[in-house]
Amino acid sequence: MMIEEVQTHVAKVYAIWLREFKVFLREKSRLVASTFTPILWLFVIGSGIGSATTVSAAPSLDYQQFIFPGIVSMSIIFTSVFYGSYIIWDRKFDFLKSVMVAPVSRGAVFVGKTLGGMTNSLVQALILLAIGAAIGIPLTPLSVVQAVAVIMLMSFGLTSLGLALGSYMYSLEGFQMIVSFVVFPLFFLSGALFPLDNLPAWLSVLTAIDPATYGVSAMRGTMLGVGSANPALDFAILTAYTGALGLFGIYSFKRMKAV
């Protein structure tokens, strides 16, 4: 009986994930637009600032290579958190109401939607990894697998955060305003664009409480061999953040009103 219940829950989560993934596949313009911005940052910012900057923390790398893991993280942060806007669209078109009255737990709805957002972020990150290989990022099969694990953790946690914020909002304008105060600090404080060595004390504290910091550090360590002296600790802290954000998302969904 317990196995049947688990299979039923998995089937419900899969159905919601499949719906989210099909929506993603139909909106090819969204994929192009959300991938273009990180590529622009990588080549314009990476080449422009890199022409006048050396990375003291990694002298063997040019600036474009150094920020590559941060640009992948940028794609994950923006795509995952802004994914919460789809809750508002679902509410406007009454799809959310139909899901909420179905015999599906809100926890299953949340997990299915979060996995959908995670898949979207993963597809975009894989495109960037392919571009990274083309510009000389020293990727190996092992480093790709490790990077994908970090990407999945980051995207699940940040998609949970985006959906949690979306569950409290009723207008896209309000959501975009609130989320702007979330995604930019997450990105700029993560060390995506600069080394975290020798920062002022107040800035070090802010970077230390940013979950994206540990994702950037772990990816930089797996891809480039630089970054934190303890990648396993980065991964553990990122896992803890992901679990906490997932629980926050489930709690928010249970309190959410469908209309």
pLDDT in tens, 195-223: 887 788 888 899 989 999 999 999 888 88
Tens digit of each residue's pLDDT (9 = 90 or more) over 23-34: 887 877 777 777
Rounded to 10 deg, the angle between the 172-188 and 211-224 helix axes is 50
Domain ranges of the chain: 10-255
Residue 197, judged by CB atoms within 10 A of its CB (0-12, 13-18, 19+), counts as exposed
Cβ contacts of residue 37 below 8 Å, gap of 6+?
74, 75, 78
Tens digit of each residue's pLDDT (9 = 90 or more) over 114-159: 998 899 899 999 999 999 888 888 888 998 999 999 999 999 999 9
Q: What is the pTM of this model?
A: 0.88
Whole-number pLDDT of residue 243: 93
Q: How confident is the model at residue 107 (pLDDT cuts 50, 70, 90)?
A: confident
User: Percent of the chain scored above 90 by pLDDT?
Assistant: 20
- Specify whether the CB–CB gap between 116 and 21 falls below 8 A: yes
